[in-house]
Structure 1
């Protein structure tokens, strides 16, 4: 496997390439609200290790990070904006890579999980893996969605009940899916380590119960790998 910095248009990005000879299915990784940090780069590398040509654009790199985060969250709520254009550019770049089979999925975490849910119902995506992502304002955006594998933490008070609501919405629309809530886990439980700043502790620890939970993570990764391998197969 090889990985390193690259670009998506004018955005910095991280690309992770599986070992051996391709072609491989493609995957766009949409990062958490903390940005394209070591956790996200490590997860991109992990997905390449599972056989996916993975590209992760840094959506918070067009200026001051607080302003970029605000604009990105606004785009997520509206369902349109620069962030969606950037993710689409990443999808097109992966799909056009000669090492890609042409089938592309999206995997997202926290804020990125919200994007993955919205994108699931849009053309060009063959599978979506949202993780502790905020549900869309209206479930109608899931009409005609690609297959979805989603994971939530039962201790995450911010997203309480989201797994059950998503399961119901996908089932009602006949979308192939695998949605699971892990009682022992909180927000960001798939991260290898807790990189959140100390001043965010009241939110991350008391409300989100954020941080690694290796037992739940191992099961979730097994589900994600199997689901994406099935639905992104050439």
Structure 2
């Protein structure tokens, strides 16, 4: 994509996001965005195809902003405490940008995955590897990721739907602590962690390994299957 097209694309995305934030999704149309951006509708169609393509691109860009916010918070020595901070950052982003959040994590029909779902899920899996490696994850990380995503998204959407004067952020804190209590163990003193936690920690280490391990792929798959069984 040449510089002119890239500049036009960014201008269109900025205008669409501004309309979305200030006027709501119903105000976003190819005609309104093209007019506000000072371009012909044909140029918008060339770059994004249609309104769905434009909104999908806005959602992807919004997710990049979301990630940029999360990267400003450096990880601490306690991955479980970082789970709390990550939860609060997620909910906070949704409450500051409700229309964009609905676009990112909502869906307009059953069976359709939200635009940010896959990327958010991969990010969460990498994050949970730290919890597993510390020996504090009670359940396999894939299940933990699904539970975290469902709970955080559900709470955020519920709070967005609640009028400001009636919004109780304690609901978010209670759900956060309930989830963390169900997914993690307390720090183990000097004694060995439980067998399930150790199995999850080894599984996480295999995932994060930079160097090839001394096992053939079928052996690695079998080992990981055993570790998942021990973690149940």
TM bracket (short chain): under 0.3
Could you tell me the TM-score, scaled by structure 2's length? 0.28
Could you tell me the TM-score, scaled by structure 1's length? 0.27
Which has the greater radius of gyration? 2
